[in-house]
């Protein structure tokens, strides 16, 4: 009898102790470390192995750990190439088929765990490390999406074929040569191309082309993606992104002080990179909690969540008074990207009815769309070529990119005629998500199209399902997609219209095929930058604009909020390792947020 009572009281004591324990834990909460930069991450990262990286979140982190032959200047716009591990821009042969690149000497790999090299400092980076990394990019067995950057290299296809034929990954002979990649000596690389590929130099500034140490990869094998061994300004100190929680980067002690600096050259302390000792990335999946954490001043800047565009900002580009009072400032930069609604050109309805597409394009009120969903943080697109590119012309006249209801209704008559006089059946719009923003966007387009008598059935699905329908089965009729350019060259975006890219999983997801476009594309593809090439690009854009395989939505504008103590913060694209420039005003941060 009595025992039961004591069990109960004993249990209550345990509960009490638990509560007290949790309460006591608040006593030992440590404040933010003054030498650490705190960055919130709302998207997850996929990998830290450059060969596998194709997403922005992963490359932002890995960009601090690896370096490439080239990089872009963090501060200069338009983007300007700088030589990072190379001594200078490549020497290109007359026919544009042979590139010769010289490497900086005395740069070493750094292994933060000391697992590959006990002394942590690895061997010097040599030409073979680049060639090894590039072979990996072309390895069939790695789920890597970057193989296309070396498509033009002599022998790349054979190597890919060879890796595919070698069923057992471990049997791949990494010493097997690729004709196009040649290390003439330890510090010189010669690249041979089948056809001119002027974008190669951009590709060599692209993170997947970073040199890899074969010893490190052999050591970590499949876990390479969690154990980056590179030459960048930071090294990985604590990686718990599997727990979706945090990644801590620490200063690379053997980093030479700047991308353009040769090892051994002294750098003034104030110019020395990286500026901060540590960067801590904290991962969140939901938007609301990290927003609160940022508002508490615990994160130094906050890239406004992609689904919450404009929530933090009152109208247009104006901050809410509350944020202004707290000294938060808004950083903005146009992104070299485009979002669009794609038509499936193989679809018997929308693909075969150009007038219908044109009518729909004219019925879509982009300005209102941008105002509603982007709070003005976007530009009305005039064509596939995005801002910041040499041939971008914001004043380009494109009748199908402008909202014009009368013209649209006029076009609809034609569209109905093309459809055999029958009214246009319901069109299915596929959206790759079902959250608030997608739902509201779906509603918006639906209402726009209803004005010209086109009924849209909006279908919300997840990303995987979306890709399956758009790229695999090609059953999507009308869908929403975007394109982030890889480098500031028009070819990178115009390839999405090349008919040779129509294939299962191919880049030409709207299955657009136009003989004239193809002819111009293949012509421009092999040309180096020149006024003639720019002319070709403009012509190609005009063809696409007339055919309307896309209904452009907007060119996005990148926004971020920063606290007043963060210095040198700029929103960038293409650049890797830029976080080394960020600096904290320790005094200001210590003061915290102004109250009021």
Partner 1 sequence: MSSAATPAAVDTVMGAVALSERPRSLWRDAMARLHTRKLNYVYASVLAIYALVAIIAFTPLLGKSVFDAQVGAQYAPPAFTGTVEQGTANEHSTIRPSLWLGTDIAGRSVLYKLLYGTRVALTVSLLASILSVVIGTVLGLLAGYYRGWVDALITWLYTTINSIPWILLMVALAYALKDREFKMFGQEFKLVGIPSIVMALGLTSWVGLCRLMRGEVLKHRERDYVAAAKAVGAGTSRIIFRHILPNTFHLVIIDFTLGIVSFVQAEVILSFLGLGVKDQPSWGVMIDDAKLELMRNVWWQFAGATAAIFGLSICLNFLGDALRDALDPRLRGVD
Partner 2 sequence: MLAYVIRRILMTVPIVLGILLITFVLFSYVAPDPAFTVAGRGKKPAQLRAIRKEMGLDKPVWLDSRAKAEQDGREYKGHFNSQFFDVVLWRFPESIKYHQPVGELIARKAPVSLAVQLPIFLIELGLQLILALICAFNRGRWPDLVVTFGAVLGMCVPYLSIIILGQSVLGFGAGIFPVAGWDTGLKSVHFMALPILVGVAAGLGGGVRFYRTVMLDEVYTDYVRTARAKGVSRNNMMLTHVLRNVFIPVVTQTVTVLPYLLLGSLLLERMFQIPGLGGLMVEALFNNDRPILLAMTYGISIAYCVMLMLTDIAYTLVDPRVRLS
Work out what residue 403 binds among partner 2, partner 1, none; the CB cut-off runs from 5 to 8 Å by kind.
none
By CB under 8 A, name the one of 43, 89, 128, 145 that touches partner 2. 145
Q: How far is CA 29 from CA 3, 23, 245, 249, in A?
A: 40, 11, 17, 21
Q: What is the DSSP letter of 515?
A: H
562 binds partner 1 (CB under 8 A): no
Work out what residue 434 binds among partner 2, partner 1, none; the CB cut-off runs from 5 to 8 Å by kind.
partner 1
By CB under 8 A, name the one of 185, 195, 271, 285 that touches partner 2. 285
Structure tokens that stand for 291 in this block: 């927003």
Among 208, 205, 207, 224, which Cα is nearest to 216's?
Answer: 224
Stretch that binds partner 1, among 20-28, 78-86, 213-221, 285-293 (CB under 8 A): 285-293
By CB under 8 A, name the one of 93, 237, 320, 499 that touches partner 1. 320
46 binds partner 2 (CB under 8 A): yes
244 binds partner 1 (CB under 8 A): no
Is 142 or 379 the residue whose CB approaches partner 2 more closely? 142
Let me know: does 347 contact 577? Beta carbons within 8 Å: no
Stretch that binds partner 1, among 112-120, 188-196, 231-239, 440-448 (CB under 8 A): 440-448
164 binds partner 2 (CB under 8 A): yes
Which run of H or E residues covers position 162? helix 156-165
By CB under 8 A, name the one of 100, 226, 311, 391 that touches partner 1. 311
By CB under 8 A, name the one of 168, 286, 504, 587 that touches partner 1. 286
Integer Cα distance of 336 and 492 in angstroms: 11
Tell me phi and psi for residue 352, to 5 degrees. -100, 0
317 binds partner 1 (CB under 8 A): no
Strand partners, 331: 560
Structure tokens that stand for 553 in this block: 């939505």
Work out what residue 372 binds among partner 1, partner 2, none; the CB cut-off runs from 5 to 8 Å by kind.
partner 1
List all residues 6 or more positions away from 510 whose beta carbon is below 8 Å from its beta carbon: 342, 343, 344, 345, 496, 497, 549, 550
43 binds partner 1 (CB under 8 A): no
| HSE-CB of 117 using CA atoms within 13 angstroms | 18
List all residues 6 or more positions away from 206 whose beta carbon is below 8 Å from its beta carbon: 68, 146, 149, 486, 487
List all residues 6 or more positions away from 498 whose beta carbon is below 8 Å from its beta carbon: 508, 517, 518, 521
289 binds partner 2 (CB under 8 A): yes
Name the residues that contact partner 1, by CB under 8 A: 286-288, 291, 307-308, 311-312, 320, 372, 433-437, 439-440, 442-444, 447, 458-462, 465
Interface with partner 2 (CB under 8 A): 1-2, 4-5, 8, 11-12, 14-15, 18-19, 21-23, 25-26, 28-29, 44, 46, 54, 140, 143, 145, 148, 164, 222, 225, 240, 242-246, 282-286, 288-290, 292-293, 295-296, 462-465, 467-468, 471-472, 503-507
């Amino acid at each position: 009898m009595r025992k039961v009572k004591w069990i109960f009281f004993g249990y209550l004591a345990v509960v009490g102790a638990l509560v007290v324990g949790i309460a006591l834990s608040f006593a030992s909460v440590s404040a933010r470390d003054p030498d650490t930069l705190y960055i919130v991450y709302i998207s997850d990262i996929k990998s830290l192995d450059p060969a596998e990286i194709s997403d922005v979140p992963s490359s932002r982190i890995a960009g601090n750990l690896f370096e490439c032959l080239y990089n872009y200047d963090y501060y200069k716009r338009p983007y300007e190439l700088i030589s990072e591990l190379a001594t200078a821009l490549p020497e290109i042969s007359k026919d544009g088929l042979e590139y010769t690149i010289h490497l900086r000497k005395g740069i070493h790999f750094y292994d933060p765990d000391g697992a590959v090299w006990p002394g942590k400092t690895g061997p010097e980076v040599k030409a073979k490390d680049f060639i090894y990394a590039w072979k990996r990019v072309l390895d069939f067995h790695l789920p890597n999406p970057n193989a296309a950057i070396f498509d033009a290299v002599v022998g790349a296809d054979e190597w890919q074929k060879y890796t595919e034929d070698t069923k057992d990954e471990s049997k791949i002979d990494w010493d097997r040569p690729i004709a196009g990649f040649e290390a003439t000596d330890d510090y010189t690389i010669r690249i041979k191309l089948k056809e001119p590929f002027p974008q190669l130099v951009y590709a060599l500034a692209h993170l997947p082309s970073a040199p890899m140490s074969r010893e490190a990869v052999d050591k970590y094998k499949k876990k390479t993606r969690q154990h980056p061994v590179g030459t960048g300004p930071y090294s990985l100190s604590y990686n718990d992104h599997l727990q979706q929680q945090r990644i801590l980067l620490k200063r690379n002690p053997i980093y030479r002080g700047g991308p353009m600096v040769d090892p051994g050259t002294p750098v003034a302390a104030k110019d020395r990179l990286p500026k901060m000792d540590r960067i801590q990335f904290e991962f969140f999946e939901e938007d609301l909690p990290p927003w609160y954490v940022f508002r508490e001043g615990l994160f130094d800047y906050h890239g406004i969540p992609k689904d919450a565009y404009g929530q933090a900002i009152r109208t247009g580009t104006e901050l809410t008074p509350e944020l202004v009072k707290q000294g938060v400032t808004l950083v903005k930069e146009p992104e070299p990207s485009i979002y669009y609604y794609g038509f499936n050109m193989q679809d018997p309805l929308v693909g075969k009815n150009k007038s219908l597409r044109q009518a729909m394009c004219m019925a879509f009120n982009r300005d209102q769309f941008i105002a509603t969903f982007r709070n003005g943080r976007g530009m009305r697109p005039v064509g596939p070529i995005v801002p910041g590119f040499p041939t971008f012309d914001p004043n380009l006249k494109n009748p199908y990119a402008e909202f014009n209801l009368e013209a649209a209704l006029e076009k609809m008559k034609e569209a109905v005629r093309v459809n055999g006089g029958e009214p246009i059946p319901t069109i299915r719009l596929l959206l790759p998500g079902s959250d608030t923003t997608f739902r509201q966007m779906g509603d918006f387009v639906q209402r726009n199209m209803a004005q010209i008598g086109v009924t849209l059935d909006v279908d919300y699905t997840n990303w995987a399902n979306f890709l399956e329908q758009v790229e695999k089965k090609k059953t999507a009729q009308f869908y929403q997609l975007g394109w982030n350019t890889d480098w500031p060259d028009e070819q990178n975006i115009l390839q999405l219209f090349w008919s040779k890219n129509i294939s299962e999983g191919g880049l030409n997801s709207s299955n657009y095929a136009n003989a004239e476009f193809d002819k111009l594309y293949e012509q421009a593809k092999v040309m180096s930058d020149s006024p003639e090439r720019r002319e070709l690009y403009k012509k190609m854009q005009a063809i696409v604009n007339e055919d309307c395989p896309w209904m452009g939505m907007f060119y996005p504008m990148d926004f971020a909020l920063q606290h007043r103590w963060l210095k040198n913060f700029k929103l960038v694209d293409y650049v890797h390792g830029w976080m080394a420039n960020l600096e904290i005003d320790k005094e200001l941060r210590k003061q915290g947020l102004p109250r009021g």
